[in-house]
């Protein structure tokens, strides 16, 4: 189920009402245009204990056969590293992120985790190893507790509270009259964008995956909410392999490596200072996008660089 979290997020604007049942939720996908052709290979093995090195090796990909969306994409994320993926809109950043949990498979080339082609692993074990925080957070029409527990079905209440505290969302939940039993979602209590993001972060903290895929929000949060999300993300990024579709200056500065995509190709990769020195696409994105994105809030937001 977890591997479907990405496409659900992409579909969140369809306003589907789901009444709390994971089984129903799974059945829903039979009616949607999901990439159901991705299945376990015969003899697929569980991924086992993950160190977390990720390699994209000459990856090509098309949604439709005639138009390549990714062309010969090659880069490596060493175990425990934070890699920031940047590039203009439509460059293929989300597509790269979608290939890692195998929402789609490359048309040519391969993706390896700890040296082995991810198509050799069971989808279940791959999904268990990967946590996703995307721009839209899908909430079931059920309690906050169950929305969190969905990330780890056997989580105790104590674990749920610990994750919510680490994600800076516990105090807000505790202040609601019904606390963790508050029903949320389309027909329940409405959470703000920043609160939903922190629920998504709490879910991943609870799941504790070796690999994190994070699509940073572009939507403007108020500076208080922004600071809470930012410090929750720092907690999440500790000690795991992370690929972040970066929209914040603080993330690109913190990254071990920045990979710059343009029209489906990797055009530059390196650290912030290496890429600035190249004075190419990253340098111009930095001046237009990243510097601008953090400038207004940096006066009021202590978490911003
Ligand atoms: P943004 O920063 O705007 O989110 P991006 O760099 O993440 O963009 P992608 O979302 O990966 O880019 O899209 C890359 C290209 O693939 C775009 O031209 C987009 O229209 C196309 N694309 C994305 N998803 C699909 C899909 N499901 N079917 C067909 N084409 C798609």
Q: What is the per-residue pLDDT for 7? A: 43
Q: Is 98 in the pocket of ligand 1 (CB under 6 A)?
A: no
| Cα of 292 from ligand 1 centre, angstroms | 24
Taking the centre of ligand 1 as the mean of its atom positions, its distance from the CA of residue 124, in whole angstroms, is: 25
Residues of 195-210 as b/e, b for ≥16 C-beta within 10 angstroms? bbbbbbbbbbbbbebb
Query: Model confidence over 253-299: pLDDT tens digits?
Result: 999 999 999 999 999 999 999 999 999 999 999 998 877 766 544 43
95 C-alpha to center of ligand 1: Å? Answer: 6
The complex's ipTM works out to: 0.97
Q: Are the C-beta atoms of residues 126 and 102 closer than 8 Å to each other?
A: yes
The protein residue with its alpha carbon nearest to ligand 1, atom 26, reads 63
What's the residue count for the chain? Answer: 305
Rounded average pLDDT per 10-residue block, the chain, 305 residues: 43 34 42 63 92 97 90 97 95 95 94 97 92 84 92 93 92 95 84 88 92 80 76 82 91 94 98 96 90 53 34
pLDDT of residue 219: 62
> Is residue 217 within 6 Å of ligand 1 at its C-beta?
no
Choosing from 36, 63, 90 the residue with most ligand 1 atoms within 8 A of its CB, the one to mutate for a pocket test is 90
Which of 9, 92, 215 most suits a substitution to test ligand 1, by most atoms within 8 Å of the C-beta?
A: 92
Any atom of ligand 1 within 6 Å of the Cβ of 69: yes
Q: Is the CB of 6 under 6 A from ligand 1?
A: no
Residue range 22-63, pLDDT digits in tens: 444 444 444 444 555 788 999 999 998 999 999 999 999 999
Q: Is 242 in the pocket of ligand 1 (CB under 6 A)?
A: no
pTM metric for this prediction: 0.83
Query: Ligand 1 centroid vs 169 CA: distance in angstroms?
Result: 31
Atom of ligand 1 nearest to the CA of 98: 11
Question: What per-residue confidence (pLDDT) applies to 17?
Answer: 33
């Amino acid at each position: 189920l977890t591997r479907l979290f990405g496409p659900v997020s992409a579909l969140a604007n369809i306003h589907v009402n789901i009444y709390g049942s994971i089984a129903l939720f799974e059945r829903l996908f039979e009616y949607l245009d999901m990439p159901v052709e991705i299945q376990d290979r015969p003899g697929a093995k569980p991924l086992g204990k993950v160190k977390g090195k990720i390699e994209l090796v000459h990856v090509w990909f098309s949604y439709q056969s005639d138009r390549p969306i990714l062309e010969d994409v090659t880069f490596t994320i060493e175990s425990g590293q934070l890699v920031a993926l940047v590039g203009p809109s439509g460059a293929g950043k989300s597509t790269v992120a979608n290939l890692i949990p195998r929402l789609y498979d490359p048309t040519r080339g391969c993706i390896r985790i700890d040296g082995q082609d991810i198509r050799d692993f069971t989808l279940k074990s791959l999904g268990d190893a990967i946590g996703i925080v995307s721009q839209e957070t899908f909430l079931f029409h059920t309690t906050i507790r169950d929305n969190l527990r969905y990330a780890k079905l056997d989580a105790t209440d104590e674990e749920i509270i610990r994750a919510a505290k680490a994600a800076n969302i516990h105090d807000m939940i505790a202040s609601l009259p019904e606390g963790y039993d508050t029903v949320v979602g389309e027909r329940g209590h409405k959470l703000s964008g920043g609160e939903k993001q922190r629920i998504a972060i709490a879910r991943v903290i609870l799941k504790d995956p070796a690999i994190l895929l994070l699509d940073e929000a572009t939507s403007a949060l108020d500076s208080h909410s922004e600071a809470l999300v930012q410090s929750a993300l720092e907690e999440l990024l500790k000690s795991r392999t992370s690929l972040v579709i970066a929209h914040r200056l603080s993330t690109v500065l913190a990254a071990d490596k920045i990979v710059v995509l343009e029209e489906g190709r990797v055009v530059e990769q390196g650290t912030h200072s290496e890429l600035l020195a190249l004075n190419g696409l990253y340098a111009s994105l930095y001046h237009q996008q990243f510097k601008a994105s953090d400038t207004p809030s940096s006066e009021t937001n202590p978490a911003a660089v």
